[in-house]
């Protein structure tokens, strides 16, 4: 191939979509790819009404392309309308149309790319070799957190995308084993590439911490939990643990939470705040900018992540980046990710969460130990290496002969082996 390899990356975040950590890690990847040398060119496919989040991240080797928002043909809309009526009769679920994996209308092929990357839960069938990130199979492990329509939509998409894609990329060994078993995929098709601290691309002014403390009226010492109020993020048990610690041990730990207030779960969280009389010590700030989030991390005494399910945790990486100690759940991939750099606890046990809060808030020596371990663990996950691994994956998908360093990078298990 004489021309530079051109890779299309779908960054078409729909206006108003609460993408949470997925948007964060895609932001980090785009920024890191923009810092790499080499002949590759990256085409960032954007929604024309929602480009602002990605524009500042574009590097000299990247170009933004608007995806035309064309309506589907009338015959397809009619067919799907009738399929949707049949679906409602069978399931009782209110759904506008039967889910299907969308076929390209020729737009993606017209870009002149040799590879297309779908870095979140979206996928179109195209004539191009594709790279797909399914991120996690939460809908199969915890179907109680979804309505039937959502599960059917994901199961219409994921198995097809995983079979069609040239490479399926996951962030941990745990996720690789999970998706291989669920969809009967060969291990050779699944590539482990962990993310790195998602907020690393956000600039941090010298007075950012003091500005954030003033703007958000942050307490002197507090625990931080950055997460959208999805049910699996486990905010309700965290609130119960704070109340338990206050009532049983006379210890009050102020808590600051960031992230979209996602309904209907936010209404339940708000009601529990009032019922447990925690409104004076717990505050939910809603969505903040990446720069503000970094400053809030640096203001925190520690971070706590009581999630019930993660393919990989952005807040764990972000805590290490800001040199803040972290406590997190023992579930799924988190013990692999955290290694010895986090306090681990059972997220289903309110007393266990309360113990973690007490230990982290009262033991300065232990926090210092976790900080040191976090800095060592952070060195295993630099964005530059993540970007090079994705670039090697794109090259492989395009049918290029890999150089020795690219091949070695893709053969290395990031979660199990420590890099000196």
Query: Does residue 417 form part of some domain?
Result: no
Over residues 13-36, mean pLDDT: 78
Length of the chain equals 420
Please tell me whether residues 211 and 309 are part of one structural domain.
yes
pLDDT, position 79: 56
Please tell me whether residues 268 and 353 are part of one structural domain.
yes
Q: Which domain, by its residues, includes 62?
A: 6-196+383-411
Please tell me whether residues 105 and 208 are part of one structural domain.
no
Please tell me whether residues 281 and 157 are part of one structural domain.
no
Is 173 a residue whose pLDDT tops 80?
yes
Query: pTM of the prediction?
Result: 0.87
Q: How far is CA 236 from CA 42, 192, 266, 276, in A?
A: 42, 32, 10, 10
The partner residues of 190 in beta bridges, in order of sequence, read 168
Is 373 a residue whose pLDDT tops 80?
yes
pLDDT, position 91: 56
pLDDT, position 57: 85
pLDDT in tens, 236-283: 999 999 999 999 999 999 999 999 999 999 999 999 999 999 999 999
Res. 76 pLDDT band, cuts 50 70 90: low
The total number of structural domains that make up the chain: 2
pLDDT, position 74: 52
Top-confidence range, 13-17, 49-53, 146-150? 146-150
Please tell me whether residues 311 and 242 are part of one structural domain.
yes
pLDDT, position 420: 44
pLDDT, position 248: 97
Higher pLDDT, 222 or 68: 222
The partner residues of 328 in beta bridges, in order of sequence, read 305, 344
The partner residues of 116 in beta bridges, in order of sequence, read 8, 130
Cβ distance 47 to 12 under 8 Å?
yes
Please tell me whether residues 104 and 135 are part of one structural domain.
yes
Please tell me whether residues 259 and 367 are part of one structural domain.
yes
Any idea what the CATH number is for the domain that residue 253 is in?
Answer: 3.40.50.2000
Q: How far is CA 100 from CA 10, 80, 90, 258, 313, in A?
A: 18, 9, 17, 34, 30
Query: Does residue 288 form part of some domain?
Result: yes
Please tell me whether residues 60 and 186 are part of one structural domain.
yes
pLDDT in tens, 291-345: 999 999 999 999 999 999 998 899 999 999 999 999 999 999 999 999 999 999 9
Query: Does residue 282 form part of some domain?
Result: yes
Query: Does residue 223 form part of some domain?
Result: yes
Please tell me whether residues 222 and 161 are part of one structural domain.
no
pLDDT in tens, 99-116: 688 999 999 999 999 999
pLDDT over 90 percentage in the chain: 71
- Rounded to whole angstroms, the Cα distance separating 97 from 246 reads 49
Is 169 a residue whose pLDDT tops 90?
yes
Please tell me whether residues 372 and 390 are part of one structural domain.
no
Top-confidence range, 15-19, 84-88, 183-187, 301-305? 301-305
Query: Does residue 420 form part of some domain?
Result: no
CA contacts within 13 A on the Cβ side of 57:
26
Cβ distance 370 to 305 under 8 Å?
no
What are the residues whose beta carbons fall under 8 Å from the beta carbon of 349, sequence distance 6 or more?
none
pLDDT, position 87: 54
Please tell me whether residues 173 and 256 are part of one structural domain.
no
Please tell me whether residues 236 and 343 are part of one structural domain.
yes
pLDDT, position 18: 52
């Amino acid at each position: 191939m004489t021309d530079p390899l051109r890779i299309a990356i779908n960054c078409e975040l729909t206006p108003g979509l609460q993408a949470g950590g997925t948007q964060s890690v895609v932001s980090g990847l785009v920024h890191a790819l923009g810092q790499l040398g080499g002949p590759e060119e990256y085409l960032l496919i954007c929604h024309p009404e929602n480009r602002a989040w990605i524009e500042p991240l574009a590097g000299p080797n990247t170009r933004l392309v608007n995806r035309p928002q064309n309506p589907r043909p009338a015959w397809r809309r009619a067919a799907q309308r009738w399929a949707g009526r049949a679906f409602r009769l069978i399931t009782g679920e209110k759904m506008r149309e039967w889910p299907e994996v969308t076929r390209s209308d020729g737009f993606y092929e017209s870009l002149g790319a040799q590879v297309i990357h779908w870095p979140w839960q979206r996928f179109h069938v195209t004539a191009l070799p594709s790279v797909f990130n399914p991120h996690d199979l939460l809908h199969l492990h915890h179907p109680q957190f979804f309505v039937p329509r959502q599960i059917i939509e994901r199961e219409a998409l994921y198995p097809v995308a995983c079979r069609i894609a040239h490479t399926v990329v996951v962030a941990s060994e745990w996720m690789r084993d999970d998706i291989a078993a669920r969809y009967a995929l060969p291990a050779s098709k699944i590539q482990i590439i962990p993310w790195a601290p998602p907020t690393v691309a956000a600039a941090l002014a010298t007075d950012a911490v003091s500005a954030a403390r003033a703007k958000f009226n942050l307490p002197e010492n507090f625990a931080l939990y950055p997460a959208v109020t999805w049910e699996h993020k486990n905010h309700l048990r965290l609130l119960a643990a704070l109340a338990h610690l206050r009532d049983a041990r006379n210890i009050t730990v102020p808590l600051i939470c960031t992230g979209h207030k996602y309904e209907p779960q936010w209404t339940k969280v708000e009601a529990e705040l009032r019922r447990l009389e925690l409104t004076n010590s717990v505050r939910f700030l809603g969505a903040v900018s990446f720069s503000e989030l970094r400053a809030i991390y640096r203001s925190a005494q520690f971070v706590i992540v009581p999630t019930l399910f993660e393919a990989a945790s952005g807040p764990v990486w972000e805590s290490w980046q800001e040199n803040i100690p972290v406590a997190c759940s023992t579930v799924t991939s988190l013990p692999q990710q955290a290694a010895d750099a986090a306090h681990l606890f059972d997220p289903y046990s309110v007393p266990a969460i309360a113990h973690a809060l007490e230990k982290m808030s009262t033991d300065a020596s232990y926090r210092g130990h976790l900080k040191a371990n976090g800095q060592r663990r952070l060195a295993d996950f630099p964005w530059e290496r993540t970007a090079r691994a994705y670039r090697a994956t794109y090259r492989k998908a395009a049918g290029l002969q890999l150089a020795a360093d690219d091949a070695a990078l893709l053969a290395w298990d990031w979660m199990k082996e420590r890099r000196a």
